Each structure stands twice: as C-alpha cells, then as structure tokens.
Amino acid sequence: MSVSDPHPTRPVDPTGDPLTFAVSGLMAEAPGSVREYRIDKVDVDPGEGLVLTEPVSGGMRLLRTNRGLIVETDLRTGFAGECVRCLRPTDTPVRVRLQEEVLPSIDLGSGLAVALEEGEDPETTRLTDHHELDLRPLLAEALSLEEPIAPLCEVDCPGLCMECGERLSPGHVHGDGPIDPRLEALRAFRVDADAE
C-alpha cells in the first residue's frame, strides 16, 4: 500500500489522541471514497509486558464501503527484547500491515444505534458514538501478534560458552585450567574407536 500525504481536510480529534480519527465526513460520502493519513512517531502500549524501541510511524488508508470502513495500515516500529542465544539486548524491526472492517455504532442520518445484522459477529470493531475511528486498540492487538518468538541479536549469533558463560566470539578458547577433583579421573579416559 502506498501512502500519500495526509488528506488536507483531516478533522482534528478533540481529545488530542493522534490515533483517533473523526470520520463522519467520510461516512457521509459514497462507497469507494478514500482518505489517507500519515501516522508519525506515535507511542503505543502493546501490552503484555512488550516494549517498543521506537514510536509507531507509517500510513493508514480508509476506504468507505456500503457497510462502514476498511482500515488498512502500513506501520513500522521495533520490539525491545533479549537474544535467546547470548542474552544481549535486541531491537527487532516490526511491520504492521492491518486490514480490518470497522462498522458504525450510530446511524449518521437518524442518530439511532445501529442494530446487529443477522449472523454478524458481535466482536466486529465499531466506530465510537461520535463517528470516530479509535485505531489504538486495533494497533495494540496487531502489535501483540507480531511479538518475535525467538529474537536474535544477529542472524548467526554464536551464543554463550558452556564453560565460562561468556559470549562466544572468534578466537574464544579455554586453557587447561583447574578441574573439579571429582572429574579428574575422566582426564585419562579415551575412546578406542577400533574396539567399537
């Protein structure tokens, strides 16, 4: 999805939340109408103990349908974490491409609550009673699904040394240091490959 500059008549959200968009004007237009917005360095709490390394930035496109809106995002941020091999801090880049249908909760013409249609999922995302799109909960949920399972500080991270616990690096060696007296007898142990 390519995202152009913000629509020049973007309504300002009275709460000041950069992730809340007044869409009553778009909802009054014909199906097929589009609005595009820039989202620039917005802090989002993805919950569940996840930490972002940078604010969320990118773009959003709203497409008017005969039922409501299709919300499409192309956003980027990063997750702070710990390398599963060497325990160093990580910064995993994340791209959030969201596509979600959002339906009105209040009819724009009558001002009455919109009833659920037969077979409609009651969990479908809705606009607020003031015809606003609150992107924050959708984005937080999408981010939580992008959590890396096994983050690495680098693709070929060598991990930790089994003997000293230090991060393995080129030239990492151990000399013949002191050995546990209980294991001293193993020093003379040799495997005879021919006898097997």
Query: From residue 180, how far is each of 166, 173, 183, 188, 189 by CA, in Å?
Result: 20, 19, 5, 14, 15
Does residue 135 lie within any of the structural domains?
yes
Q: Report helix, strand or coil for 195.
A: helix
Does residue 162 lie within any of the structural domains?
no
Does residue 90 lie within any of the structural domains?
yes
Does residue 166 lie within any of the structural domains?
no
Position 154 pLDDT exceeds 70: yes
Position 14 pLDDT exceeds 60: no
Domain extent, residue 107, equals: 20-145
What is the rounded CA–CA span in Å between residue 167 and residue 173?
A: 11
The model carries a pTM of 0.72
Does residue 188 lie within any of the structural domains?
no
Query: From residue 142, how far is each of 31, 34, 138, 177, 191 by CA, in Å?
Result: 26, 22, 6, 51, 55
Residue labelled with tokens 């973007």: 10
Which of 15-29, 100-114, 163-177 holds the top average pLDDT?
A: 15-29
Tally of structural domains, the chain: 1
Does residue 134 lie within any of the structural domains?
yes
- Mean pLDDT, the chain, whole residue set: 84
Confidence grade of residue 9 (pLDDT, cut at 50, 70, 90): very low
